[in-house]
Each structure stands twice: as C-alpha cells, then as structure tokens.
Amino acid sequence: MRDTVFKDVIGSEDELRFLLGTPSRTAANKVIYKLDRHCREFIGKSPIVFLSTADSSGSCDTSPRGDAPGFVHILDEQSFVIPERPGNKRMDSLLNILSNPHIGLLFIIPGLEETLRINGRAKIIRDTDILKKMTAHSKIPILGIAVEVEECYIHCAKALKRSKLWNSFEWLDKKELPKPSQILADHVNLPDLDSKKIESALQESYAKRLY
C-alpha cells in the first residue's frame, strides 16, 4: 500500500480505544468455545457460509460455500465439515488451508440480520464415511473442509441493517446490476473470449456442474 495516499493512520490499540471505546459486558463475554444447541441450530438453517483463509505469508482470501440448509455436517460440539462442491479449480481456500490451518467463518440465514461467526482450524479430508453424509443430487463430494471450533459468537445486526440487505425494495433493478460476464471478459482479456462466450460458458457450468 502506498504510504503517500493516507496521512493519518492509526498505529496502536490505545489510539483505537481512545476513539472507539471498550466493548459492553455483553460483547466482551459473548464468545463460547464449542457448538452449543444455538450454534447447531443456526448452522443447520444456514444455506451459505463465507470462509476466510490466509496462506503462510498472511495473504488473505474470502470465499463462499453454499447449498440447501443443513449442507454443513456437524460431527460433535467441536467439529463440523463443509462439503467441497465443484468449483473453478483455483482452490484458493484449499491451498491456503494446506499452508495455514487458521480459518474464520461467517454463517448467514436469509431474512435474519444477526450472523454467526466461528473461528478455528481447518484441514482437508476425504473420509468416505463422512463425505457420504453430505451427498447431494446423487453426488458424493470428493473432499471436505473439516473445521475444529475454537470460538463461536453471534455478530450483531448493524451491518445488515445499514445495508438493508434483506429489503427487496432496496435492491437494484436487474438492468442496473453489474454484468459478471463482461467483467470476466475485461479482466481475462483474451482475444478469443468475449462476454457472450463467457456468459454461455457460465450458464453451461451452472446448469451441468453444480454437483
């Protein structure tokens, strides 16, 4: 990051505390260290989770995983497994996990503004007996991301309230939405791949290779 862009940078926790204060008793004490019945229920009703990982040098990545509610398999109060469905084969999250097991997760339930945060350690597994339990559309996942829970806590609703995420009246008209196929075409910047070809390839992938 260029040092010349920002002129007033916070450099210590003391500066942060002076500006923002300290957490309330509720916020300071809300962390638990296992999956209680509330966490299990939340995970079981969530159709999507965002994974944050980093490689051994600290370079970060965030990636979603989603399926029908209940797609995450809970083994016990300390561990669960996320099925690895077919993707684009970049494997950013998986490669990060191989070099750095630390992982942060954000579970979301549509219509609910509070979210569930879980921090822990991850590993990539291919235990057939576990993976079979996450079969979808007659397809057994080849791999799973196993997470050992270290922290769990509910995240307040302020960000989702400010964004009005679940208020469909605030959503852009479809004509105003960014066009992923055009973005990809411009970013890939290959002479034989225009937005129409990429759009066709995307739709084929969505139709034939979700599982």
pLDDT in tens, the chain (211 residues): 666 789 899 999 999 999 999 999 999 999 999 999 999 999 999 999 999 999 999 999 999 999 999 999 999 999 999 999 999 999 999 999 999 999 999 999 999 999 999 999 999 999 999 999 999 999 999 999 999 999 999 999 999 999 999 999 999 999 999 999 999 999 999 999 999 999 999 999 999 999 9
- pTM beyond cutoff 0.75: yes
- CA 58 vs CA 97, 99, 122, 210: distances in Å: 12, 10, 16, 30
3-state secondary structure 60-71: EEEEEEECCCCC
- Return the CATH number of the domain spanning residue range 26-163: 2.30.110.10
Closest CA to 82 of 128, 123, 40, 114: 123
> What is the three-class DSSP state of 158?
helix
Write down the domain spans for the chain.
26-163, 172-208
What's the chain's length in residues? Answer: 211
